[in-house]
Amino acid sequence: MITHLTDFSDKLSPMLVKELRQGLRARSFTMLFLIFQILLGFILLSASASSTTDYAGSFASGVIFTMFGIAALFIQPMRGVTALSAEITGNTIEMMALTRLSASRIVLGKWIAIISQTTLILITIIPYLILRYFFGGMVLLGELVFLSLIFMTSMAMTAVMVGMSGTNAKLSRILPVIGFIFMIQIISGILFRGGFNNFMSYCTLSDLESRVGIFSYICFITYLGWCALSHGVSVIAPAAENHSTLRRLIALGLTCLAVGAGFHPAVEGPALLVIFVIILAPAVITALTEPSNLLPPICTPFLKRGLLGRMASVFLLPGWPAGVFYTVLLLAISSAGLLAAASPTLSPSDISEIKIATLGLVGGILLAALLASNFSKQESKRFTNFVVFALASIILTIIPTIFANINNHESYLWFFIWNPPIFITMADESSFDKNQLLTAVMIVDGIILSLLLATATIAFRGYREILKEAESGLATPTP
């Protein structure tokens, strides 16, 4: 006998139940849901009444994908922009901790609540898909795979918004999504080069290339979403909890797996470089901007493992000082993997441009981290300062490049080589020697990295006192 359900199950997380109740009752979701249904129904019925069968089918697919894409890729993720900041500003995080809700359950509850609402919108598309099937010309598997990709991308973007919502500045919460949308546009431009029908056939997974491409994309958005949620957990978690070490170990393991993949003859250097950028970028940025609020209980697990644990603590302890050494380790491993990878079928000039662009990107991240480590008075604002310095670096790359192109004085750009991203634009100019640029960017990156290592070494002295305190706690017998 089926009983009447009047409330959520007690087995569900209280945070999830709370967010679901508030989200489903929110006027923003109610209006979105109703407008979505009304527009879809009106447009599809109009298309079926006034168009030919072939045109009505493609038009119906376009309407469904467009409407669902707007709702799932923009409106729903933006609802997570204040997911954690509202709790932080309202001083309710401590009250939640008293209810034995961990930081992980709080973040996951907010993320799953938004995803559940997006799932509800996805379910309501099924009747329209049935109507679209009778129009004819439907690539069933391709369109289902495409809808699934939109939904999974929405999950990743929502994770990014929820994870970044705990930062202090609103700019730091919005920029990752802008970058993610920009990335989606680039990927869509590549995939849609042959038109919508070609992309639908690509989504049918009929060949190995399509299966590998879509699987790689799913792995990428999954990793990005996990990194964002993990960052959100570490922001609201108590200082005595260590969420950094596991995150760094996973990124380190993925980097080693990528190095192993580089030995396969089918994996060329440029493809491996893209893999390294995807893995290292979130891990490095997070490691270089973590607050250095280290407590003795966090050091205890490392000290219990003797000399090996002490050596690992240099790279795996939370905080940006250890994050600098961890970054150097990841860069060293990835560089070794690129050297061992198969030689690409590109011209020497193209290879030099790829190297210059990569080193310029790495140098820009290191420069922003160096400035943030020296000009951040509050540890909680270190990530915000990193974003500000990174934006300033981009602006100081774009403006001189525009000025140099207008006045035909490309040599003017040499005055800005202290800003490594400038080498990316210089590599596109035929007036610069590629080998000379490669040497210059390596020198600039080396100087920035040396200064960052020196700063981290000085800051790491404070860690030694905490390690000694934790060691003395281990030596003191418990009563």
Residue 211 lies in a domain: yes
pLDDT of residue 53: 54
Closest CA to 362 of 435, 446, 260, 245: 446
| Position 434 confidence tier, pLDDT thresholds 50, 70, 90 | confident
Instruction: Give the range among 150-159, 434-443, 468-477 with minimum mean pLDDT.
Output: 468-477
Work out how many domains the chain is built from and give that number.
1
**Could you tell me the two tokens for 244?**
């950094």
Mean pLDDT over 212-219 rounds to 85
Question: So what's the pLDDT on residue 191?
Answer: 45
Q: Is residue 45 part of a domain?
A: yes
Q: Hey, which residues does 90 pair with through a beta bridge?
A: none
* DSSP state string for 316-349: HSSSHHHHHHHHHHHHHHHHHHHHHSBPPSS-HH
User: How many CB atoms within 10 Å of residue 248?
Assistant: 24
Residue 169 has pLDDT above 70, yes or no: no
For residue 91, what are the domain limits? 11-237
Give the lowest-confidence range in 198-202, 353-357, 463-467. Answer: 198-202
Decide if 48 is inside a domain.
yes
Taking the C-alpha atoms of residue 333 and residue 344, their distance in angstroms, rounded to an integer, is 20
Residue 207 lies in a domain: yes
Please report the pLDDT score of residue 99 as a whole number.
66
Cα–Cα dist 159/229, whole Å: 6
Q: What is the mean pLDDT of residues 388-395?
A: 89
The residue among 151, 13, 182, 152 whose CA lies nearest residue 71 is: 151
What pLDDT is attached to residue 204? 77
pLDDT, greater one: 453 or 384: 453
| Residue bearing the bigger pLDDT, 409 or 46 | 409
Indicate if the pLDDT at residue 155 is higher than 50: yes
Q: How confident is the model at residue 166 (pLDDT cuts 50, 70, 90)?
A: confident
Burial class for 5, CB neighbours closer than 10 Å (0-12, 13-18, 19+): exposed
> Given CA atoms 449, 248, 388, 293 in this order, what sign does their dihedral have?
negative
> In this predicted model, what pLDDT tens digit does every residue of 173-197 receive, in sequence order?
566 556 656 655 555 554 444 455 6
Residue 454: its pLDDT value, please?
A: 93
Domain-embedded: residue 62:
yes
Tell me the average pLDDT across 231-259: 87
- Is 337 a domain residue? no
Least confident of 123-132, 273-282, 289-298, 312-321: 123-132
Asked whether residue 315 carries a pLDDT value surpassing 70, the answer given is yes
pLDDT average, residue stretch 454-479: 76
pLDDT at residue 349 above 80? Answer: no
Local confidence band at 327 (pLDDT 50, 70, 90 cut-offs):
very high
pLDDT in tens, 88-140: 676 666 666 666 677 788 888 889 888 988 888 888 888 777 776 666 666 77
Average pLDDT, the chain: 79
Amino acid at 395: I
Among 5-9, 39-43, 108-112, 334-338, the least confident range: 5-9
Cα-based distances in Å from 148 to 7, 44, 153, 199, 390: 29, 21, 8, 14, 34
Checking if the pLDDT of 462 tops 90, the result is no
**Averaged pLDDT, 429-458:** 90
Overall average pLDDT of the 266-281 stretch: 82
Q: Is the pLDDT of residue 57 over 70?
A: no
| Section 305-332 average pLDDT | 90
pLDDT of residue 307 exceeding 50: yes
pLDDT for residue 407: 77
Q: Is residue 451 part of a domain?
A: no
Task: Look at the pTM and tell me if it is higher than 0.85.
Answer: no
Judged against a pLDDT cut of 70, whether residue 9 lies above it is answered with no
In a domain, 36, yes or no: yes
The DSSP line for 69-134 is HHIIIIIHHHTTTTTTHHHHHTT-HHHHHHTT--HHHHHHHHHHHHHHHHHHHHHTTHHHHHHHHT
What's residue 323's pLDDT? 92
Per-residue pLDDT, averaged over 279-294, amounts to: 88
pLDDT at 342 over 70: no
Average pLDDT estimate for 1-22? 62
- Among 21-35, 84-98, 164-178, which range has the highest average pLDDT? 21-35
Angle at 147 between CA 65 and CA 132, to 5 degrees: 60
Q: At 12, is the pLDDT very low, low, confident or very high (cuts 50, 70, 90)?
A: low
Give the 3-state secondary structure of residue 268: strand
| Residue 255, pLDDT above cutoff 80 | yes
